[in-house]
A and B are shown apart, each in its own frame.
Chain A
């Protein structure tokens, strides 16, 4: 589904990603872990098409297309969804209105008809249960006045409604208490099918107790320094990230 080759990206002249290689197939869950400043969020933003980041080298193929040539909205319409680390507030625009506009733009892009209002509202009501948010959130302005946990759940709610092919969760666990974490993880797990994939970007292992990855990659200084199965996350939990910084000899790419 996604193939990243030797991806280099910088912002304001500073190189953040220094040659990322990553391959994600349908049905897989990948986790990117790493200490602060390793480039995890940058990778998520670059894949979503944030223009502040300049891709200086490498390529990203997504379902056979050059992803880097697509605008952010076309990437979204092609099925890439980024759950933001810091979801943005949009005063005056209700969740319902945002999702209706988004879903219809995506459907239009695919040559599908707009969903009629009744079907759409039924879809919202079904999906909002996944993240245990009250229906009153549908009428509220996007993320405005939401608590940190509510914002994160709202991201997963949007994910559920838009049902993308590749979901990128950028530090979705940060700021969540354990109950909210379970709700979010449970929502993500229920959305999993053999046709979609998830890329979980996280600092901590704890989210991976609930969203169990097939592959774990350790990012350090803009490069993936180690990849492995879900047990790698547990190992990291035990020994922390210091070993990377200290240049431990066992670190082999």
Chain B
């Protein structure tokens, strides 16, 4: 690589995280640490019914018997779970009808992020349930959705207002015993979103939540549950940015999706949490469990993710293809730069007959980062005629980063049809010079190549989200390539 290119890359790489700011709002927090008493207090503060507290406590007791996993291809100092604040909420807890009643500090934060609710509200077709730290503060479009029988609210509200639904589906896809981080989440989850689409209803708008981790040292434990009844459809968008922090922040979310007969759920994520500075200081630990169950026949669940942030990502959005003819899809772009580490991929579990799954994973590694794809395709004995197509591509930018692929196949039925393709490529100086020679400067040349590389995944994102994703991508790759 030529000197100018190296310099350019360094310049770009050294760009500061532009969403690093802290909102000054009085937080109502519990003391640091984790024990049964804390869990009882979390539950009490949220005014939860008894069954919820019971569930949390069961999870907590189970968690105590578990060990933190060490198999991911990531390295980080041990997390002190007693040094984390498990509950923090903005003190003024508004139940608001209009944005005028929202704490102006909050609104400013949203504006800095370029996602002001005012603007969002005007954007037709996008309902926003904004999660600020642990408690939802504003929900829009609720009334409109209500007419259709759609429930879109914070998880806390769902626990209070729709306890039967929560009881029925909570833990039905990711049980509280599932894994270390999901179990921790089950014990201490603060809030999140709840979506219920009744039978034969097609949700007329994209449902969208912006997350933001704010108070220092607050682990955020989101819990999201989406249930699509028979013949229904919903598209859900999750987008996040977090302010800059020196200490690492643990984020262990759980997302559960349930699709009944002929239902479709499309879940899209753009994740842009603070990745740490160029020396690897700070940044979010993103240890997430996302899983969807295609319980019904002909049901379909699609995961689309653009992951550009977090110091460490550990995340495998998965599909359990239980219903006959059900379809699972996973489209992913994972970008790592500087010292970021990502171990991400998916699991496609084929249980029903004629089930099919598609995996398109595009990893981009730059700087000194490490990017691993880890994916499992499992076909059970009874899953006759199931099909999978996997494509796992890695793009390397510069020569100090790493890309790794760990595909696992467990095929127990001879009628299965499995295809796997993988490529590794590098943005070459030849390509950059070629584009330079056409009048395109190096930064834009890289953008052009990267966008070309990931367009198959971007095409799966809803339009307005794709635009944002492209922007985030160029921010996180600014200064990455050679």
A-side residues, CB < 8 A to B, are 48-52, 71-73, 75-77, 81-82, 84, 87-88, 90-94, 97-99, 101-103, 105-106, 109, 141, 158, 162
Contacts and interface: CB of A to CB of B under 8 A. Distances in A.
B4 A98 contact: no
Nearest to B450: A92
Given A88-B431, A92-B453, A93-B448, A101 B440 contact: yes
Contacts of A48: 437
Contacts of A102: 435, 438-440
Contacts of A71: 4, 436, 441
A101 B448 contact: yes
A112 B433 CA distance: 24
A49 B448 contact: no
Contacts of A93: 448-449, 451-452
Q: Max chain A CB contacts within 10 Å: which of B431, B436, B439, B454? A: B439
Contacts of A90: 431, 434-435, 448-449, 452
Contacts of A101: 438, 440, 444, 448
B444 A105 contact: yes
Contact of A76 (B431, B438, B442, B454): B438
15 contacts: A49-B437, A51-B2, A52-B2, A73-B440, A73-B441, A76-B437, A84-B434, A88-B431, A91-B453, A101-B438, A101-B448, A103-B439, A105-B441, A105-B444, A141-B452
Given A92-B454, A93-B451, A105-B444, 9 more contacts: A72-B437, A76-B438, A84-B437, A88-B431, A97-B452, A98-B448, A101-B440, A102-B439, A162-B439
Contacts of A162: 438-439
A114 to B, nearest CB: 13
Contacts of B5: 51
Interface string B427-466: 0101101111111111010001101111100000000000
Contacts of B437: 48-49, 72-73, 75-76, 81-82, 84
A103 B435 CA distance: 12
A84 B435 CA distance: 11
What secondary structure prevails in chain B residues at the interface with A?
helix
A82 B451 CA distance: 25
A109 B448 CA distance: 19
The listed residue with most A CB atoms (<10 A of its CB), out of B3, B5, B451, B452, is: B452
A239 B430 CA distance: 36
B241 to A, nearest CB: 27
A84 B434 CA distance: 8
A67 B363 CA distance: 39
A72 B436 contact: yes
Contact of A158 (B436, B438, B454): B438
7 pairs of A and B residues whose beta carbons are closest in the complex = A92-B452, A51-B2, A93-B452, A72-B436, A102-B438, A76-B439, A88-B434
A97 B448 contact: yes
A94 B452 CA distance: 8
Nearest to B434: A88
A94 to B, nearest CB: 8
A105 B4 contact: no
A51 B436 CA distance: 11
A54 to B, nearest CB: 11
B452 A105 contact: no
Contacts of B442: 73
B439 A105 contact: yes
A103 B439 CA distance: 8
Interface residues on B, range: 20 to 34
Nearest to B430: A88
A75 B437 CA distance: 8
Contacts of B3: 51
Nearest to A48: B437
Interface hub of A49, A73, A82 (most chain B Cβ within 10 A): A73
Contacts of B434: 84, 87-88, 90
Interface string B188-206: 0000000000000000000
Contact of B455 (A49, A75, A92, A99): A92
B57 to A, nearest CB: 51
Contacts of B431: 88, 90
Nearest to B453: A92
A118 B437 CA distance: 25
Interface string B142-154: 0000000000000
Contacts of B430: 88
A73 B445 CA distance: 10
A48 B439 CA distance: 11
A105 B440 contact: yes
B435 to A, nearest CB: 7
B12 to A, nearest CB: 16
Nearest to A86: B430
A96 to B, nearest CB: 12
A76 B452 contact: no
A91 B430 CA distance: 13
Contacts of A91: 425, 452-453
A49 B449 CA distance: 21
B111 to A, nearest CB: 29
A101 B4 CA distance: 21
A87 B437 CA distance: 12
Nearest to B436: A72
Contacts of B444: 101, 105
Contacts of B435: 90, 98, 102
Given A71-B4, A88-B431, A98 B449 contact: no
Contacts of B440: 73, 101-102, 105
A162 B3 CA distance: 28
A41 to B, nearest CB: 13
Contacts of B441: 71, 73, 105
A99 B439 CA distance: 10
A97 B435 CA distance: 12
A101 B435 CA distance: 10
B4 A51 contact: yes
A46 B277 CA distance: 38
B342 to A, nearest CB: 21
B1 to A, nearest CB: 9
Output the residue of A71, A77, A90, A106 with the most chain B CB within 10 A. A90
Contacts of A52: 2
A36 to B, nearest CB: 21
